[in-house]
Amino acid sequence: MAGLHKSEFANPVINWIDTRLPVFTMLQKEYGVFPTPKNFNYFWNFGALAMVNLMIMIATGIFLAMNYQPNSELAFDSVQHIMRDVNYGWLIRYVHQNGASMFFIVTYIHIFRGLYYGSYKSPRELLWMMGVVILLLMMATAFMGYVLPWGQMSYWGATVITNLFSAFPVVGPKIVTLLWGGFSVDNPTLNRFFALHYLLPFVLIGVVFLHIAALHVVGSNNPLGIDVKTPQDTLPFHPYYTIKDSVGMCVYLIVFAILVFFAPNFLGDPNNFIPANPLQTPADIVPEWYFLPYYAILRSVPNKLLGVCLMFASILVLFVLPWLDTSRVRSARFRPIYRQLIWVWVAAFIGLGVCGAHKPEGVWVILSRVCTLYYFLHFLVILPLLGKLERPLALPESISQPVTGGRGGGPLPSGATTKPMEKA
């Protein structure tokens, strides 16, 4: 019959569904036999880990929402109610709370992977840009989620972050009032943050779907950063990478479990055990650890508007990274200078995080300024110039070659030209 999909599944039920809605064929194509570069290292686990983390956050979040009260009078107590009264509420909340940290750990490593191996370069620019959108959505979601327990740090974090928008001339204060739904952070703010905190993860799913769809069009990058040339360069996604991802998943879950069961408040702030008090600001206002680098950039500039602009720019610059980096070689392995400078950038980013955790006094001011300077210098000056000045190493002819052909690059030994590993 015309229009029906010709399904190859033997199971009659699956075949019946697949004929009418070829989801099984799609799964088989995109996650079963999907040709994937065969030289992935463990850095390529982190996309899948982030996906799993998003699922964990949504699952635990839905059950938390069943017991949470988004009302400034009740919010703090309802969180304590979840911790003490609700069956396994402590577990669900600690998984959700530490899940946010795990999400950023995994995502930051995923982004570093992209930076190191040049995954943002043609033809993956749009894939990368959607990744930056995901990062921004994650940040907004994490920020609003942190406000919900309505502790001191929630309240004052919300106050400081929303006040960032007041830096913009003319419209700034109006924007802030609009965000608050009043003249300070209060019940209307909490209500809308809860609504958005529930909504945005589903928007995230949508963008993640596009991110993966784009990935499956252009294909994965790989540690060598060269294109797949022949089927010999690839392996079917299942079972090779489902298994490799599973290994990483076990490690990830172990780290996650250690945090949840042995140090659930290690990454939290003790001030958030105090109910929100609009009349008293805590002595030290610090955001969650994953926002510290941006916080340090904000504070490193003595001008309010400029600081806010630089902070936003530190993320927005990633959107144009594919065009700032003029080198056509993707992987840092073959870029002797970039390979060192990317670590300088990582050091600057971590340095900013450390600065963000300290009061902006003495050496920390200088250090955060130096780090901020390098952060932007790296993207805006070094990368455009380096592509022209750096002399990259010779690229291997194919992904298979460095594995099977040795360093000489001569003719392949006869065994290597046969088919890749068959399923035993």
Partner 1 sequence: MADSPAATNTHHGHSADVTKRDLLQLITGAGAAILGGAIAWPLIDSMNPAKDVLALSSIDVDLAPIAVGQGITVMWQGKPIFVRHRSAEEAKEADAVPLSQLNDPQADKARVKPGHPEWIVVIGICTHLGCIPLGNKTTDMRGEWGGWFCPCHGSQYDTSGRIRKGPAPTNLPVPPYAFESNTKIKIG
State phi, psi for 39 to the nearest 5 degrees.
-110, 25
> In this chain, which of 14, 249, 357, 386 binds partner 1, going by CB under 8 A?
14
Q: Which of 406, 39, 412, 2 is nearest to 220 (CA)?
A: 39
Binder of partner 1 out of 85, 199, 306, 417 (CB under 8 A): 85
> Is 288 in the active site?
yes
Residue tagged active-site, from 18, 233, 269, 288: 288
Q: Is 216 a catalytic residue?
A: yes
Cα Rg, the chain, nearest whole Å:
24
> Rule CB under 8 A: which of 20-39 touch partner 1?
28
Asked whether position 168 contacts partner 1 by CB under 8 A, the answer is: no
The residue range among 60-68, 254-262, 373-381, 397-405 that interacts with partner 1, by the rule CB under 8 A, is: 60-68
Query: What is the bridge-based pairing of β-strands 234-236 and 35-37?
Result: antiparallel
* Dihedral sign computed on CA atoms, order 363, 364, 369, 372: positive
> Of 81, 216, 238, 304, which residue is the catalytic one?
216
Catalytic annotation, pick one of 18, 245, 269, 325: 245
Shortest distance (Å) from residue 201 CB to partner 1: 16
Out of 66, 195, 380, 389, name the contact with partner 1 by CB under 8 A. Answer: 66
331 is catalytic: no
Q: Rounded to whole angstroms, how far apart are CA atoms 136 and 86?
A: 32
Stretch that binds partner 1, among 10-18, 168-176, 210-218, 270-278 (CB under 8 A): 10-18
The residues in 345-384 that bind partner 1, with binding defined as CB under 8 A, are: none
Measured CA to CA, the distance from residue 387 to residue 394 in angstroms comes to: 15
Q: Could you tell me the smallest distance in angstroms from the CB atom of residue 92 to partner 1?
A: 6
- Distance from C-alpha of 294 to C-alpha of 307, rounded to nearest angstrom: 10
Q: Restricting to residues 87-106, which ones interact with partner 1 according to CB under 8 A?
A: 87-89, 91-92
Query: How far, in Å, CA of 404 to CA of 414, rounded?
Result: 10
Per CB under 8 A, the list member of 17, 71, 74, 81 interacting with partner 1 is 81
Q: Give which of 207, 329, 256 is closest to 103, Cα–Cα.
A: 256
* Interface with partner 1 (CB under 8 A), residue from 50, 79, 86, 158: 86
Q: Which of 96, 110, 211, 244 is catalytic?
A: 244
CA separation (Å) from 178 to 146, 161, 167, 278, 419? 20, 14, 15, 19, 63
Among 17, 58, 59, 140, binds partner 1 (CB under 8 A): 59
Nearest partner of 47 among 249, 346, 348, 233, judged by Cα: 249
Instruction: Mark whether 30 is an active-site residue.
Output: no
Which residue number, 27 or 350, has a Cβ lying nearer to partner 1?
27
Per-residue burial over 259-284, b if 16 or more Cβ lie within 10 Å, else e, is bbeeebeebbbebbeebbeeeeebee
Per CB under 8 A, which region of 82-90, 127-135, 228-236, 380-388 contacts partner 1? 82-90
Nearer to partner 1, 182 or 239 (CB): 239
Compute how many other C-beta atoms are within 10 angstroms of the C-beta atom of residue 240.
17
Closer residue to partner 1, CB minimum distance, 237 or 291: 237
Confirm whether 121 is a catalytic residue.
no
Q: Provide the 8-state DSSP code for 43.
A: G
Cβ–Cβ under 8 Å, residues 399 and 330: no
In the complex, what is the shortest distance from the CB of residue 10 to partner 1, in angstroms, rounded to a whole number?
A: 5
Among 6, 8, 199, 381, binds partner 1 (CB under 8 A): 8
Residues annotated catalytic, as ranges: 216, 220, 244-245, 288
Q: Report the interface residues with partner 1, using CB under 8 A.
A: 8-11, 14, 28, 59-60, 63, 66-67, 81, 84-89, 91-92
